[in-house]
Homo-oligomer: A and B are copies of this chain.
């Protein structure tokens, strides 16, 4: 069935994964366009017309185009409020907004290590980069709530925003041994249908790197 909803995504793109999860949580159908980075498809004319930065996610919903993953989450919640991925109180939402934005730090710190290893396969990662990533995980260990999610008792946009990065860090070898709450949290996430069903397809049956094994 043709739909006006269309998502360009790439296997292993954690920002794109966020949008896949949100669409699944909302039960929204969409035209799924899996692109291959190795073929440069994120720089294809189709995508560049919609997203001059040539990146995924590139998300189209009728006349709306939203390409920043966190913006797409806010838009999807705004346009399709039910089932809600935001708490009912403004105080609860404040915490979700905070963790949503803060998840960029997880991305930055992990990416610093991963990019270093991509460029210097045989060199040791500078300790300061490892320390920064480990310190970031300490914050998130303290954020996991008693009830098990990042911003309180329910699964919210905060989990959609941070979850893919935490799971990807495990894929890259982070044991999370020193972070028992996060370790348990990622298991909860991975068992959730919206997350399991959208997990990067190329991960299945292939081993991950061990670049974050020190974490």
Contacts and interface: CB of A to CB of B under 8 A. Distances in A.
Interface of A: 52-53, 63-72, 74-75, 78-79, 90-91, 93-94, 97-98, 100-102, 104, 139, 142
A127 to B, nearest CB: 19
Secondary structure at the A interface, as helix, strand, loop or mixed, is helix
B74 A97 contact: yes
Contacts of A64: 90-91, 94
A71 B90 contact: no
Q: Of residues A93, A97, A100, which shows the largest number of chain B Cβ atoms within 10 Å of its Cβ?
A: A97
Contact of A90 (B70, B75, B98, B101): B75
Given A52-B139, A139-B52, A75 B101 contact: no
Given A71-B102, A75-B98, 17 more contacts: A52-B139, A52-B142, A53-B139, A63-B91, A64-B94, A66-B98, A67-B98, A68-B97, A68-B98, A69-B101, A70-B101, A71-B101, A75-B93, A75-B94, A75-B97, A78-B93, A79-B90
